[in-house]
C-alpha cells in the first residue's frame, strides 16, 4: 500500500504541496533513496541478529511515513518522509523474505510468493478505497490512517510471536555451500548472481512503473474517467493475486523456475507493447490483468529464490543485494518517468516496453544457463 498510495492520491497531494504530477513522482522516488540507504546493511545484520527485529523495525519506521505525508506542507518535507518509507520497506524485506524461506525450507518460492500475494491485496483494495473516499467527498488522509491502524495491529500481534531460528549452524552452512560449489563454479555463480540482480532491477521497474502510471495513462491517453482509470490498477492487482496463486502451485510442482521467469517476462513485454501501440479501453482492461499476472504475480520473488539457492548460507545478504537493485529501480524510475511525463504520458508506456525487452534478454540468459542452477 505504501508504494501505490502516493500515486493513488496524486491529485490531492499536488494541491497540498503546490506541485504537478512530476513533483509527486519526485517524492515517490524518495522511497528508492530510503531503500538504498539501508537495504544492503540490513540484510547483513538480519543474518547476524535475526529476522523479527527487522520486521518490527520496519513497522515502526513505516508509521511516521503515513503520518508525515498527510501533515507535510511541501515536497521537501514529503521527501524526507518518503525516505523513511523506503527504509521501512528495506527493513521488512530483510526480515520477511529470509524468515519465510527458513520457516518453509522445502517451499521457499511459494513462501516468498505469499508475501507478494498480500502486497497485491493491498494494491487491489487501496484504489477502491481511495475512489470511495473521493466519491463521498471525504478527506483523502483516511487512506493513510487505515494503513497506520493495520501496521499498529500487526506490531502488537508480532510482539509475542517466535520467528525461525535463522541461518542454520556453521557446519550445515559449510555443507550447503560445498554442495552448491560442486555443482556451480564460483565464477558461474557470480555471473548468474549478477544477471539475476539486473533482472531484479528490471522486474521491479516493469511493474513499479505500471502501478504508478496506469491511472494517469488511462485518464490522459485512453480518455477514461478517473474512476475507471483507477480501476485499471485494481484489475492489475486481481491479475497479480491470481498470478500469485498460480505460481504458488507451479513453482514446487510442475514448472522449472527459470522457465517461469522467461515465460512471464516475455508475456509482459508482449502485453506492454500492445497497450502502448493500441491504447483503447478494452485492451487496457485485459492488458492490466495480464500484466498483473505476469509481471507482478511473484516472478520477482521467484528470481530471489533462484539467486538464494546459489548462496544458501547468506539469504539475508542475497535479499539485500537483490532488492537493492529493486531499490535503484524505485528511485530512478519515478525520476525518469517524471521527466518523460513533461512531454507525453504515452511515452512512459513505451519506456516500460523497452525495460521489458531488456528483461527478456536477461531471462533468456538465465534459461540458457539453467543446467548450472
pLDDT digits (tens, 9 = 90+) for 115-164: 877 887 887 788 888 888 988 889 999 999 999 999 999 999 999 888 87
The domains of the chain, with CATH numbers, are: 2-368 (1.20.1250.20)
Write down the pTM of the prediction. 0.71
List the single range of 2-11, 70-79, 159-168, 325-334 with lowest mean pLDDT: 159-168
Residue 312 DSSP code: T
Q: What's the number of CA atoms in the CB half-sphere (13 Å) around residue 274?
A: 16
How far apart (Å, rounded) are the C-alpha atoms in residues 81 and 27?
9
Cell of 127: 484504489
Closest to 211 in 3D by CA, of 199, 223, 222, 203? 203
CB 126 within 8 A of CB 8: yes
Distances (CA, A) of 187 to 191, 324, 373: 6, 21, 13
Closest to 54 in 3D by CA, of 331, 320, 321, 347? 320
**What are 198-253's pLDDT values in tens digits?**
999 999 898 778 878 888 899 999 999 888 888 888 888 888 888 888 887 777 66
Q: Which long-range contacts (CB under 8 A, 24 or more apart) does 174-180 make?
A: 174/313, 176/312, 176/313, 177/311, 177/312, 177/313, 180/309, 180/310, 180/311, 180/312
Amino acid at each position: 500500500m505504501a508504494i501505490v498510495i502516493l500515486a493513488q492520491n496524486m491529485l490531492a497531494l499536488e494541491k497540498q504541496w503546490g506541485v504537478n504530477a512530476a513533483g509527486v513522482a519526485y517524492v515517490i522516488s524518495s522511497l528508492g533513496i530510503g531503500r538504498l540507504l539501508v537495504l544492503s546493511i540490513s540484510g547483513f545484520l538480519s543474518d547476524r541478529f535475526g529476522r523479527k527485529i527487522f520486521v518490527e523495525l520496519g513497522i515502526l519506521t513505516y508509521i511516521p511515513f503515513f503520518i508525515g505525508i498527510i501533515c507535510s506542507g511541501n515536497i521537501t518535507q514529503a521527501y524526507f518522509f518518503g525516505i523513511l518509507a523506503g527504509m521501512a520497506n528495506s527493513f521488512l524485506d530483510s526480515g520477511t523474505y529470509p524468515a519465510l524461506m527458513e520457516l518453509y525450507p522445502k517451499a521457499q518460492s511459494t513462501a516468498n510468493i505469499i508475501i507478494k500475494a498480500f502486497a497485491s491485496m493491498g494494491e487491489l483494495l487501496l484504489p477502491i478505497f481511495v475512489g470511495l473516499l473521493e466519491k463521498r467527498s471525504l478527506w483523502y488522509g483516511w487512506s493513510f490512517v487505515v494503513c497506520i491502524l493495520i501496521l499498529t495491529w500487526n506490531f502488537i500481534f508480532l510482539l509475542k510471536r517466535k520467528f525461525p531460528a535463522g541461518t542454520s549452524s556453521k557446519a550445515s552452512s559449510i555443507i550447503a555451500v560445498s554442495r552448491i560449489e560442486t555443482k556451480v563454479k564460483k565464477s558461474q555463480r557470480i555471473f548468474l548472481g549478477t544477471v539475476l540482480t539486473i533482472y531484479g532491477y528490471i522486474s521491479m521497474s516493469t511493474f513499479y512503473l505500471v502501478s504508478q502510471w496506469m491511472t494517469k495513462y488511462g485518464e490522459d491517453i485512453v480518455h477514461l474517467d478517473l474512476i475507471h482509470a483507477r480501476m485499471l490498477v485494481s484489475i492489475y492487482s486481481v491479475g497479480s493475486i491470481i498470478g500469485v496463486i498460480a505460481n504458488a502451485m507451479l513453482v514446487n510442482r510442475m514448472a522449472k523456475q527459470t522457465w517461469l521467469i522467461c515465460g512471464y517476462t516475455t508475456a509482459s513485454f508482449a502485453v506492454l507493447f500492445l497497450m502502448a501501440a493500441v491504447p483503447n479501453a478494452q485492451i487496457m482492461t485485459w492488458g492490466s490483468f495480464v500484466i498483473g499476472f505476469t509481471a507482478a504475480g511473484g516472478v520477482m520473488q521467484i528470481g530471489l529464490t533462484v539467486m538464494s539457492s546459489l548462496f544458501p548460507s547468506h539469504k539475508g545478504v542475497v535479499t539485500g543485494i537483490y532488492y537493492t537493485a529493486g531499490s535503484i529501480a524505485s528511485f530512478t524510475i519515478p525520476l525518469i518517468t517524471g521527466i518523460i511525463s513533461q512531454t507525453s504520458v504515452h511515452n512512459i508506456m513505451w519506456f516500460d516496453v523497452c525495460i521489458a525487452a531488456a528483461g527478456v534478454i536477461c531471462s533468456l540468459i538465465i534459461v540458457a544457463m539453467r543446467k548450472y542452477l
